[in-house]
Amino acid sequence: MNNIKGVGSETDLKLQTIKRSMLIIQVMLVILVMAPGYLILNSSYLAWKKKEEDRKSVLGKLEEEKKRKQENDALWQAPVIDSTTMGKDEYALINYGRELITNTAFYLGPKGKVAALTNGMNCQNCHLDAGSRPWGNNYGAVYATYPKYRARSGSEEDINRRINDCMERSLNGKALALDSREMQALKAYIEFIGSSVHKGEKPQGSGIYELPYPEKALDTLMGKTVYTEKCVSCHQLNGEGIKDAGGIVYTYPPLWGPHSYNEGAGLFRISRFAGYVIFNMPQGATFLHPQLTQEEAWNVAAYVNSQPRPKLDLSKDWPVMSEKPVDHPFGPYADPFPESQHKYGPYQPIKDFYKNKKKG
């Protein structure tokens, strides 16, 4: 019995081993057959998925471009000076105003034909296309919004006063007499440029673009790199720009140094500078085709405005301390933040401080 049983279990064992081997072979066969199929399926699925993603991202990009183009088309556009629809004197005055803005140095610069009042820059160096380019620091909203209260002077300012602000600060010069033909012409031109804008309105595309605040403090070293790579060819290593062969007008205007805007000028505020360059510099950049990232615009603004430039007595500016803009770099302030943070950020905590103060 025992023997038979022994033999029987031996055969059983063999049978079991064979069965197990068969099973393993079967499983291996299944894997061998399935694996390539799976791999093929999987890779074609992945390829399809990638194609689908690419298609979506192209669509997304097209959609984004379309939106931006629509946005661009809706930006404020300046009217064209048309001699046939104006009186002769009106036309002459407006045209002279335009001429003064494009060729300021020729009339009012250090060797000016009319008077020597300014540093040699043109209004147009900062108010592009004679103050008519969308987001090019244009005059679109001026006629519609002046006279208005301005916190910098703490008083109501009319257009004449605002023009003289730029004469004394951006052009680091002297004011124009209010009754001069030059002042009348500048005013007439600026009013003409804004003549289609409703009173009190500030159309999209007028003035300077408001960039969102960056989260971190700005980095002047990174700004210097941007400057070296994207600005230096025109504005030069020492920031002094290049004059044309005649030596009267700048081909490339200065960004710092004795002939640049002074510390009281709008561009000396880093948010104004960054908002100006983002869609205008390097020359050729536009709203549709910017050439700087927002971060680059902020950092290059910080770098340029950390360089030396003419000073101005600012003791009468911002008479109401709490109305100083967040990025005005000179104290005293109605808040606990240091000058360095006002200049280079982060700006949001300062903004929040005043918001909470108002609420509380």
Stretch touching ligand HEC by CB under 6 A, among 58-66, 160-168, 325-333, 352-360: 160-168
Q: Which residues contact 345 (CB under 8 A, 6 or more apart)?
A: 213, 214, 216, 217, 218, 270, 327
Stretch touching ligand HEC by CB under 6 A, among 11-19, 23-31, 162-170, 351-359: 162-170
Of 230, 309, 342, 343, the one binding ligand HEC by CB under 6 A:
230
**124 contributes a contact to ligand HEC by CB under 6 A:** yes
**220 contributes a contact to ligand HEC by CB under 6 A:** no
**166 contributes a contact to ligand HEC by CB under 6 A:** yes
Q: Which residues contact 336 (CB under 8 A, 6 or more apart)?
A: 353
**224 contributes a contact to ligand HEC by CB under 6 A:** no
Stretch touching ligand HEC by CB under 6 A, among 41-49, 230-238, 305-313, 328-336: 230-238
DSSP 117: -
DSSP 270: H
Strands 148-150, 155-157: parallel, antiparallel or unpaired by DSSP?
Answer: antiparallel
Task: Say whether 149 sits in a helix, a strand or coil.
Answer: strand
Number of shown-chain residues binding ligand HEC (CB under 6 A): 48
Q: How far is the CB of 131 from ligand HEC (least distance, A)?
A: 7
Decide: 124 and 130 in contact? Cβ < 8 Å: yes
Decide: 197 and 139 in contact? Cβ < 8 Å: no
Q: Is 31 exposed, middle or buried (0-12, 13-18, 19+ CB in 10 A)?
A: exposed
**282 contributes a contact to ligand HEC by CB under 6 A:** yes
List residues binding ligand HEC (CB under 6 A).
Answer: 101, 104, 121-128, 137, 139, 141-142, 162-163, 166-167, 170-171, 186, 190, 207-208, 226, 230-231, 233-235, 252-255, 261, 265-267, 272-273, 276-277, 281-283, 292, 300, 304
